[in-house]
Amino acid sequence: MTQGYEGMNVLVTGAYRGIGAACAKVFAKAGAHVLCADLNDPVETVDTIRAADGTAEGIICDVTDEASILELFQHVNTHFSTLNAVVNCAGIIHERGLLETTTSEFDQVMAVNLRGSFIIGREAIRAMQGSKGRVIMIASDLSYYGRESYAPYVSSKHGVLGLVRCWAKEFAPHILVNALCPGPIDTEMLAAENMSPEWRAKELEIPLARFGQPEEIAEMALFLAGPNAAYITGQGIGVNGGSIMP
């Protein structure tokens, strides 16, 4: 266990796989009790944590459905004495040229990545009222620059940074709000069904010339939730192999 995390109550969304699953496992290993939420049943993540003597439970939540999120936080408020941190990893990616992108495709990306982040963040901060807490959102290195054929995704992640900056000012000093901005990470988002081979190859044209690992994002999330990050708020922190240097 890691000093400063024992007994913490942490909510991780998108915990079925990828960065979300890695965050859930890293927090549990550090001694936190983790509530794993995802549209898909995160039972595998929970079982892995419990097999390593960590404490976790799973719940199904659709971040595009406000009622589903409110039900999630009803569970949080009923079972947690306090919510110490939330790591919102739920997200989708979409690669398509502007002229081929439909309104429904745009709306779907926004519903998950931006509207879902808004509602998750709002309810997490509501649950943290009267105590200190940490809100950690997942943005992207693409939050800082445009990319052809990714307009909905880039717009949604740029919006996440806007939420973080506003909330950091509104709820300081008791609640610290930050975003992680991953570069190319070796998850299902980089799979062929989500990203063309041409863009996968371009993702490697960065100084470190490799895909990052989900655990590298999770370790930074753990740091932001811990006692040594008490002077950090309103930031978009790049964990990106040098893909962008703002």
Positions marked catalytic? 153
- Report the alpha-carbon distance of residue 45 to residue 48 in Å, rounded: 5
Q: Which of 83, 85, 82, 61 is nearest to 72 (CA)?
A: 61
Residue 142 has phi, psi (to 5 degrees) of: -75, -5
* Nearest 10 degrees: Cα torsion 46, 164, 77, 39: -40
Using alpha carbons, list the distances in angstroms from residue 21 to 13, 45, 56, 59, 108. Answer: 9, 6, 12, 13, 22
Amino acid at 43: V
